[in-house]
Amino acid sequence: MKKLYLSILALVLVGSFLMAIESEPSEIVGYVAYECVEGTTGNLNFISLPVMDPGTQRAYYEWASDLGNAYPGQIDAISKWVPSTQSWAAAFYDGVSWNDDYLLEPGNSYMINVLSPITFYSVGALVPPIQYNLVEGTTGNLNFIMVPLNRSDLDWASVLGEDIGPVDAVSKWVAGTQSWSAAFYDGVSWNDDYATFIAMPLMVNITSGPVIWPDSRFETRN
C-alpha cells in the first residue's frame, strides 16, 4: 500500500498547484485555514504549518500522526518532501495505527491525502522568521517552502523566484485537478505568473545550490 501511494505521489509531481487559504494569521497568534478538497483523480492537498505551539516551540501538531488523529477517518497519509533524494516520505494510517511517523516542523509544507473534504486549521503562535536550506538533490533540485509570514512583498511567483535567486520554476498545487501549475523562467522573462501570499506552500526548483533563503539581512522586511 505504501509503495503504491508513493508511486502515485511521484506521478503527480509533473503538473500544476492550487490550495485555498481561508484567512491570514494575526500578528501575534491566530490560525490559517486550508480548504482541502477531493480532486478528479485523487485527494492530495498541499498545506503549510505557519504557526507553532508557544509552549513547546514546535509545530502545534508535533507528529504527523497527531495531525492525522485530529481528523479521524479523514486523513490517511501525510507526506514530506526529501530534497536530498528528490523523493517522498509518508506517514500513513493502515486502519489501525500510523506507520512511519515523523516530527513535523513549523514553517514546513506537507502533502496530505484526505478521504473527504476538510478545512485544515493551523493554529497557535506565529513562527519566527524562517530560513530554508534549499539544496541540490540526487536527481533534481526541487524544494518545498512556505511564503514567510513577514514577507507580504512576495506577492507573485516571479517576485519570489527573483528574491531567492537561482530559481527557474515556482510551482503551486491544484487540488481540484491533482496537478501542478508552474511559473517558469525561460532565461529572459517569467511565464505563467500567478499571485502568491503569506503562508502559501510552494515548490521551487533551484538551478544551483545550496541556497539559504530568505537572506538574514531582510528578515524584518514586510
Structural domain count of the chain? 2
The CA-based angle 141-181-211, given to 5 degrees, is 25
Proportion of the chain in helix, strand, coil states, percent, rounded to 5: 15, 40, 45
The cell numbers describing 24, all together, are 491570514
Q: Which pLDDT score is estimated for 8?
A: 35
Q: Do residue 103 and residue 139 come from a single domain?
A: no
Nearest-angstrom CA–CA distance, 47 and 42:
16
Which of 126, 157, 176 represents a domain boundary (last residue)? 126
The amino acid at 104 = L
Phi first, then psi: what are they for 121, rounded to 5°? -105, 125
- CB-side exposure of 148: number of CA atoms within 13 Å? 21
* Residues with Cβ within 8 Å of residue 162, at least 6 apart in sequence: none
Q: Do residue 100 and residue 26 come from a single domain?
A: yes
Q: Do residue 7 and residue 113 come from a single domain?
A: yes
Q: Which pLDDT score is estimated for 178?
A: 97
Which of 126, 161, 184 represents a domain boundary (last residue)? 126
181-187 LR contacts (CB < 8 Å, sep 24+): 181/15, 181/16, 181/17, 181/18, 182/16, 182/17, 183/156, 183/157, 183/158, 185/158, 185/161
Please give the full DSSP string across 148-203, using - where no structure is assigned: -TT-TT--BHHHHHHHHSSEEEEEEEETTTTEEEEEEE-SSSEES--B--TT-EEE
DSSP secondary-structure letter at 32?
A: E
Q: Which pLDDT score is estimated for 37?
A: 96
Q: Do residue 96 and residue 140 come from a single domain?
A: no
Residue 214, preceding peptide bond in cis (omega within 30° of 0): yes
Q: Do residue 69 and residue 158 come from a single domain?
A: no
Q: Do residue 87 and residue 27 come from a single domain?
A: yes
Nearest-angstrom CA–CA distance, 196 and 178:
19
Q: Which pLDDT score is estimated for 29?
A: 53
Q: Do residue 93 and residue 169 come from a single domain?
A: no
- What predicted TM-score, i.e. pTM, was given to this entire model? 0.84
Q: Which pLDDT score is estimated for 21?
A: 42
Q: Do residue 10 and residue 116 come from a single domain?
A: yes
Q: Do residue 154 and residue 214 come from a single domain?
A: yes
Q: Which pLDDT score is estimated for 4?
A: 37
What does pLDDT average to in each consecutive run of 10 residues of the chain (222 residues)? 38 34 48 92 96 86 96 96 96 97 95 96 84 94 94 96 97 97 97 96 96 69 38
Q: Do residue 15 and residue 96 come from a single domain?
A: yes
Q: Do residue 118 and residue 20 come from a single domain?
A: yes
The amino acid at 142 = L
Q: Which pLDDT score is estimated for 15?
A: 33
Q: Do residue 114 and residue 160 come from a single domain?
A: no
Q: Which pLDDT score is estimated for 215?
A: 77
Which of 93, 126, 159 represents a domain boundary (last residue)? 126
Judge residue 14's burial from the number of C-beta atoms within 10 Å of its C-beta, 0-12 exposed, 13-18 middle, 19 or more buried: exposed
Q: Which pLDDT score is estimated for 3?
A: 38
Residue range(s) defining the domain that contains residue 203 = 132-218
